[in-house]
Amino acid sequence: MNKKETHFGYQTVDEKDKESLVAGVFDSVASKYDIMNDVMSLGIHRIWKKITMQHTGLKAGDHALDVAGGTGDLTMAMSKQVGPGGEIIISDINAAMLNEGRRRLLDKGYGGNIKFVEANAEDLPFDDNSFNCVTIAFGLRNVTHQDKALASMYRVLKPGGRLLILEFSKPVVPVLDKIYDFYSFNILPNMGKVIANDAESYRYLAESIRMHPKQEKLKEMMGDAGFERSTYHNMTGGIVALHKGFKL
C-alpha cells in the first residue's frame, strides 16, 4: 500500500507524521506565542480578531466553540458575549497551547463560563447540533485533513449556527504579495530566532500560509462540507481573510 503524503510547510511528509511535526512547532512557540503575534503583525492581529467577533451573532445564554483556540483571544471575547448563562469551549489539539490559554484566561479572571478540551479538529468530541457559533483562527492551515475538520465543525453546529474562519490568505493588492513574501521569509524567521529562540518554527508558519487554500478555494471547501451562504472578507489587502458560513 502506498503511503499517503501531505505538506508540512514546503516539505512533503507522510500524512501520519504531520500531526506530530505540527505539535513540535507549537510546543516550541507556546510560551512566546502572544508576544510573537504582536511583534510579527505589528499588533494588527487584534484588529482582525475584533472584526471577527463582530460576526459571531452570539447573544446571552448561547454556546460557542473556539477550535484551535490557543491562548484564548477569541474565547475571551465570546465569553463576554454569551455572559454567565452561556458557555464557551476552547479546544486545541496541542496540550502546551491549551495550558498556556488556560493560564492566561484564569490570570485575567475568566473561566466561569469557559471549558478547556484537548481535541483534534478533525474529530471533535462534542454532540451534534451543540453550538450557536464555531470559530477557528489561524489554525485550519495546520490541520492535516481540512475537509474532515470542516465536516466536524459543521456537525457540531446547531441549525442556524455559523462558522467563522480567520486565516492568512492570498494578498490581492498589487506588489503587496512581494513585500509580504520578503517579510515572511527574511524578517519573520529572524524575529522568531531573537524572541522565541526558534527560527525554524516561524519559517514553517510562513510556508504553511503559502500552502493554505486561497479565498475562493476555501469557500468552495466550505460548500462541500455543507455550509451555505458562505462568504469571505479580505483584510489588510488579503493577507488575512475572514470566511463565514451557515448551517441552515
Q: Is residue 199 part of a domain?
A: no
Q: What pLDDT score does 42 carry? A: 86
Q: What pLDDT score does 225 carry? A: 98
Q: Is residue 37 part of a domain?
A: no
Q: Is residue 62 part of a domain?
A: yes
Q: Is residue 72 part of a domain?
A: yes
Average pLDDT over residues 187-201: 86
User: What does the pLDDT look like over 33-42, one tens digit per residue?
Assistant: 888 788 888 8
Structural domain count of the chain = 1
Q: Is residue 140 part of a domain?
A: yes
Q: Is residue 7 part of a domain?
A: no
Q: Is residue 201 part of a domain?
A: no
The region of weakest confidence among 14-28, 72-86, 143-157, 232-246 is 14-28
Looking up residue 89, the CATH number of its domain turns out to be 3.40.50.150
Query: What is the three-state SS of the chain?
Result: CCCCEEEECCEEEEHHHHHHHHHHHHHHHHHHHHHHHHHHHCCCHHHHHHHHHCCCCCCCCCEEEEECCCCCHHHHHHHHHHCCCCEEEEEECCHHHHHHHHHHHHHCCCCCCEEEEECCHHHCCCCCCCEEEEEEECCHHHCCCHHHHHHHHHHHEEEEEEEEEEEECCCCCCCHHHHHHHHHHHHHHHHHHHHHCCHHHHHHHHHHHHHCCCHHHHHHHHHHCCCEEEEEEEEHHHCEEEEEEECC
Look up the pTM and report it. 0.93
Query: Which range of residues forms the domain containing residue 142?
Result: 44-169+213-246
User: What does the pLDDT look like over 94-113, one tens digit per residue?
Assistant: 999 999 999 999 999 998 99
Would you state the cell numbers that stand for residue 140, as one nine-digit string? 485550519
Q: Is residue 192 part of a domain?
A: no
